[in-house]
Amino acid sequence: MFPLQRGRRLRVNESIRSLVRETTLSPADFMFPMFIAEGENVQVEIPSMPGIFRRSIDLTVKEVKELFDLGIRAVNIYVKVSEDLKDNTGKEAWNPNGLMQQAIRAIKAACPEMIVMPDVALDPYSIYGHDGIIEKGDVDNDATNDALVKMAVSHAQAGADFVAPSDMMDGRVLRLRQGLDAAGFENVGIMSYSAKYASAFYGPFRDALDSAPRESDVVVPKDKKTYQMDYANRIEAIKEALWDVEEGADMVMVKPGIAYLDIVREVKNAVNVPVTVFHVSGEYAMIKAAAERGWLDNDKIMMEQLMCIKRAGASLISTYFAKEAAILLNNSQSFWPLEGWKL
């Protein structure tokens, strides 16, 4: 018999396609990563990330208000630390008057309903560019965890809603949960970078914060592969995510995004908490570079990639496209573009 089932009946026009669409996007699906710099009225574009800036706190607050008005409800914040504040202990990371702590307080004062998730890792504060304290030529896992607890508690004291450990130290989620609870911050959540791969897609981010591993007079690891994951591994990602949930993580993250959608789905199937996906700087930079040359349509590729990340299982997408995508969605007739914007 000639087929009675015809899939094309459900693709006849955009109205039908919208009725049966399985996955949708809204601005509330996005978290915007923000880079914060010292000073006032400072806005410096990151050359490898067109349209993304390091901003002083005053301009960061202005941007946060704009993001909230667009429907974005979370920001993930990072700081560009002065060289003279860097050492091997990371002690500036828990300075109550440090740049991160000032930024958290300013954002929450200006926009209390915006969810603030500061980065918890020592690389912006390290003279070696590593995510932890260097001892005997390697990153000392447990000493680093002690420092991360101090950092996270200082973030909570400043008003953070969640802390976001991106360091990949073993056992740090449990230590953070214990430390936050002991300090009276039982309601401050943990969004753990559970499956963070040692990826070349992070290059532009490290330019933004000057956080790449550096050459040194002492022996240090040349890269971050002793703590970030091997990108050849899949089962390990599930194991790491399950461990973090057992230790108290409220959300888990897979990073990077598009090249790791198989991992996103595997983790989504394995855990019972929301899964965040970081659509990282290199993924953003590639689209921007291709669009500038006329090889790809920026908006169409942006929306397709974000939709694919959501379809794979993301509850929240941390992406440098958050503002652009939110504007595009808000300018359409619905949360998914219809006649005003054709795929």
- Catalytic residue annotation: 196, 255
* Of 107, 100, 105, nearest in space to 122 by CA: 100
In 3D space, the residue among 307, 314, 226 whose CA is nearest the CA of residue 271 turns out to be: 314
Closest CA to 179 of 196, 213, 158, 155: 155
Scanning the structure block, which residue is given the tokens 């070349």? 200
DSSP secondary structure letter of residue 126:
B
CA angle at 124 for the pair 121 and 130, rounded to the nearest 5°: 70
Tell me the sheet residues that pair with 190.
163
Distance CA(118)–CA(34), nearest Å, equals: 10
Report the Cα–Cα distance between both ends of the chain, in Å, rounded. Answer: 34
Tokens representing 136 are 């005997």
Residue 11 near residue 20 (C-beta atoms within 8 A)? no
Query: Which 3 state secondary structure label does DSSP give 253?
Result: strand
DSSP 241-287: HHHHHHHT-SEEEEESSGGGHHHHHHHHHH-SS-EEEEE-HHHHHHH
Q: Is the dihedral of CA 127, 133, 135, 138 positive or negative?
A: negative
